Amino acid sequence: MVSEIRDKKDEVETLYHHALSRNILISKEALEFILFNGISLKKVKDYLNELPEGILSVDNLKELIQQTTTPSDQVEFEVLRTSTKHLAKNYEGSVKDIWTFNTDFESKTSVDNFLNYFRDRYKKIKSLLLQRNGVKNIVSIEKLKSHTFNESVSIIAMIREKDDYGKGSLRFLIEDDTDEIIAYVDEKIYDVAKNVVEDDVIALKGKLNASKKYFIVEEIFYPDIPLPTNDSITKIEDPLTAAFISDLHFGSAQFIEKAMTRFLKWINSDDKDASRLKYLFILGDNVDGVGIYPDQEKELLMKNIYDQYKAFEEFLLKIPEHIEIIVIPGNHDAVRLAEPQPILPEKYLENAHKMKNIHFKTNPAFVEIHGRDSAKGIKVLMYHGYSFNALIDTLTDIRKVARDKPTVVMKEILKRRHLAPIYGSTLIAPKEIDNHVIDVIPDIFASGDLHSHDVSNYKGVTLISASTWQAQTSFQDRVGHVANPGKLTIVDLQQRNTRVIDLLG
Ligand SMILES: [Fe+2]
């Protein structure tokens, strides 16, 4: 490490003189930042060449990192000369469950079951809405009817039906745990109201009409998450990173072996972020599966599910043991589709199940990593993302962009505080509780499924739609996914910034 820094120091000095020749002074803080934050010197030099005369500050460099967090980022580890033991080995990992589910299958489903599920959703999201600023004068629908005409009140309700007539005209049938009423939306908020979906639980501010038969909606509130403060952005003290991959699809003829070999090369390399890598998240569709879609066998390299999981397991076991791996299933994995999906079974992954550093979790899963008695860890919400498809198809405003930029739909999910807002958008295990309500605000929300790749931030929450290792298949064509494979997302848990490495670049 020391010799690595010494080598870099010489190069930074050359860069400093290059900047001076262009009448740019690199500040002392910026020099230290360049030296210790693994930023590409070539990128800094290119950036300098674009700058007018003046001072290069740390803020400039942070801006540069943001700009270079793109899929075209090149793998830099190949140019590093020294090999030292990985820094992350010196730190003990910790993975704690925030959510735990009973995933025993209950075959019995009844009307009561179904009603209790929706009551549970209503109750949980109502409590989140009550914490929101602006939601005042709340009345139940039953009590509303005894209120005077024109009095401004708020109702917390579930959308049972939505009729969008276009051109500013929209009507809901809303209900709470007391009654139901027809609600007409004021034309002024049509653009907001048209993005409300059936089964959403929202607050509607408005008043009764003159006949007291209808509610006129003037403002809509989602439960949402609050704006971040300096204190609410959790960072860990230790200099560690986490990486996110998804939809590996072992066994598929379209599996991109180069992505795996480059990944394993990177993870064992002297790259600064690889050296600090302590947590690896794998977001489901670990294998391609068997019989998932018609004629799938024509696109399979391994036609036996055991062989597919054996290949996946071999990959897992090549990852250094000091890295904590957190794995969830997806809709291609050999577990039931109904969510919460159970953990990947031991019968397919016997050796991996024996490993202390490999944590098999449900889909969805919510974990806290690197928490200490003295300090908060990073809360990571993991969801494969099957329900996103229906939400994308329903929301006209995001339909055209969300398959390329899936974090757009992830923002909608966080706004609603629900992983599958539209009932039926994914299979749900028949339980009397709704396990998809996001009752805790994550630091990182990671998903897969769409085979695209995107990283962004919503009110301080890092959103990651992790990239696949599968090239486009006929199935992906059919479901409208466009693959953007081989992008590795890395989060610096100490700085809370992200970097993307193109494993296929
Ligand atoms: Fe997939």
The rounded Å distance from CA 268 to ligand 1 centre is 26
Residues 236, 353 within the same domain: yes
Q: Do 215 and 234 lie in a common domain? A: no
Is residue 455's pLDDT more than 80?
A: yes
pLDDT averaged over every residue in the chain: 89
pLDDT tens digits, residue range 67-94? 554 433 444 433 333 345 799 999 999 9
Q: pTM above 0.75?
A: yes
Task: Give how far Cα 284 sits from Cα of 62, 330, 386, Å.
Answer: 32, 4, 10
Boundary (domain end) residue, out of 193, 221, 249? 221
CA 439 to ligand 1 center in whole angstroms? 27
The answer to whether residue 75 is domain-embedded is no
Lowest mean pLDDT among 58-62, 333-337, 410-414, 450-454: 58-62
Count structural domains, the chain.
3
Pairing of strands 214-221, 201-208: antiparallel
Which band of pLDDT confidence, cut at 50, 70 and 90, is reported for residue 4?
Answer: very low
pLDDT digits (tens, 9 = 90+) for 294-309: 888 889 999 999 999 9
The CATH number assigned to the domain holding 357 equals 3.60.21.50
Burial (CB < 10 A; 0-12, 13-18, 19+), residue 268, is middle
pLDDT of residue 114: 81
Question: 111 versus 170: which is more confidently predicted?
Answer: 170
For residues 232 and 158, membership in a common domain is answered with: no
Q: Which structural domain range is residue 47 located in?
A: 2-68
Q: How confident is the model at residue 149 (pLDDT cuts 50, 70, 90)?
A: confident
pLDDT tens digits, one per residue of 175-186: 999 999 999 999
Looking at 221, 240, 273, which one is the last position of a domain?
221
Are residue 281 and residue 394 in the same domain, yes or no? yes
Give me the pLDDT at residue 189, please.
96
What's the CA gap between 128 and 223, in Å, rounded? Answer: 6
Give me ligand 1 centre to Cα 336, in Å: 15
| Angstrom distance (rounded) from CA 373 to CA 366 | 19
Q: Determine, yes or no, domain membership for 479.
A: yes
Q: How far is the CA of 365 from the centre of ligand 1 (A)?
A: 17
**Ligand 1 centroid to residue 389 C-alpha, Å:** 12
